[in-house]
């Protein structure tokens, strides 16, 4: 958790009985959640989220994905990022998120996607299922990513606030290659970073990598050699 981040669940998420169901894809809903998010995460995290929203919109327009869904998924993807390890474990128990006990024990930081998806889905039933799924899987990816899932995953990695390593080069590939190729490139880069930093990989990351490399028969490293 970034220093100074505070997660506040409860009141803002509890939808009182009888309250009319909002249109989660409206600008009013977006503005209301954006205002709430400001109180849930640090200023630095909030700025990251704004970068992800802008990048998700750009990717959605480039690759023909629903812009309102992409913007909403981006806005809400780090909704639970303000919790520390113990806080997010408790959050997972509270919201009944379906999560692997191994993840709870060893990689609690990765719980913020599943807990946010579960909590937001309960509090705001009009949020479309595909938006919740993209939020759920934004940290580890999945072997069957939808276009929306890929937009959020790539936007999270390539938002303009990230200025290090090969991120600018990867940003330069937007529109130059397919969304799936871009996703695989970002997945490869992030996985290499994690290994170089000596951090543990989630086992699903290996499954996701294998699934896409085998499916495409166009592995990232080979493509790089051809350039």
Distance in Å, CB of 218 to Fe ion, minimum: 27
User: Which is closer to Fe ion, CB of 104 or CB of 213?
Assistant: 104
Between the alpha carbon of residue 116 and those of residues 78, 95, 122, 160, 197, the distances in Å are 8, 9, 10, 24, 27
User: Which is closer to Fe ion, CB of 57 or CB of 156?
Assistant: 156
According to the 3-state scheme, what is the secondary structure of 45-103? HHHHHHHHHHHHHHHHHHHCCCHHHHHHHHHHCCCCCCCCHHHHHHHHHHHCCCCCHHH
Name every residue whose Cβ is closer than 8 Å to that of residue 195 and which is 6 or more positions away in sequence: 201
Name every residue whose Cβ is closer than 8 Å to that of residue 18 and which is 6 or more positions away in sequence: none
Distance in Å, CB of 154 to Fe ion, minimum: 12
User: Which is closer to Fe ion, CB of 57 or CB of 78?
Assistant: 78
User: Which is closer to Fe ion, CB of 24 or CB of 53?
Assistant: 53
Residue environment code for 92-110, b if the CB has 16+ CB neighbours within 10 A, otherwise e: beebebebeeebbeebbeb
User: Which is closer to Fe ion, CB of 78 or CB of 136?
Assistant: 78
User: Which is closer to Fe ion, CB of 156 or CB of 185?
Assistant: 156
Distance in Å, CB of 77 to Fe ion, minimum: 6
Distance in Å, CB of 222 to Fe ion, minimum: 29
Q: Which residues would be at the binding site for Fe ion (CB under 5 A)?
A: 78, 156
Tokens 């938002």 belong to 159
Greatest alpha-carbon span in the chain: 60
Between the alpha carbon of residue 94 and those of residues 9, 10, 167, 180, the distances in Å are 10, 11, 36, 35
Which helix (DSSP H) or strand (DSSP E) does residue 37 occupy? Answer: helix 27-40
Distance in Å, CB of 117 to Fe ion, minimum: 11
Distance in Å, CB of 99 to Fe ion, minimum: 15
């Amino acid at each position: 958790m970034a220093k100074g981040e505070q997660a506040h669940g409860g009141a803002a998420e509890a939808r009182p009985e009888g309250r009319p169901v909002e249109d989660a894809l409206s600008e009013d809903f977006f503005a209301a959640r954006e205002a709430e998010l400001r109180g849930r995460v640090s200023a630095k995290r909030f700025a990251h989220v704004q970068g992800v929203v802008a990048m998700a919109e750009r990717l959605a327009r480039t690759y023909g994905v629903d812009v309102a869904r992409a913007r909403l998924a981006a806005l809400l993807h780090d909704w639970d990022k303000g919790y520390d390890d113990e806080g997010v474990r408790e959050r997972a128990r509270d919201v009944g998120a379906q999560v692997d006990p191994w993840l709870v024990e060893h990689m609690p930081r990765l719980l913020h996607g599943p807990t946010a998806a579960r909590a937001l889905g309960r509090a705001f039933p009009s949020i479309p299922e595909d938006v919740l799924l993209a939020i759920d899987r934004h940290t580890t990816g999945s072997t069957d990513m939808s276009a929306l899932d890929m937009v959020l995953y790539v936007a999270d990695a390539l938002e303009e606030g990230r200025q290090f390593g090969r991120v600018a080069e990867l940003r330069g590939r937007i529109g130059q290659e397919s969304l799936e190729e871009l996703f695989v490139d970002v997945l490869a880069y992030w996985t290499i970073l994690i290994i170089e930093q000596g951090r543990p990989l989630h086992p699903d990351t290996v499954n996701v990598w294998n699934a896409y490399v085998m499916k495409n028969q166009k592995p990232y490293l080979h493509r790089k050699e051809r350039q």
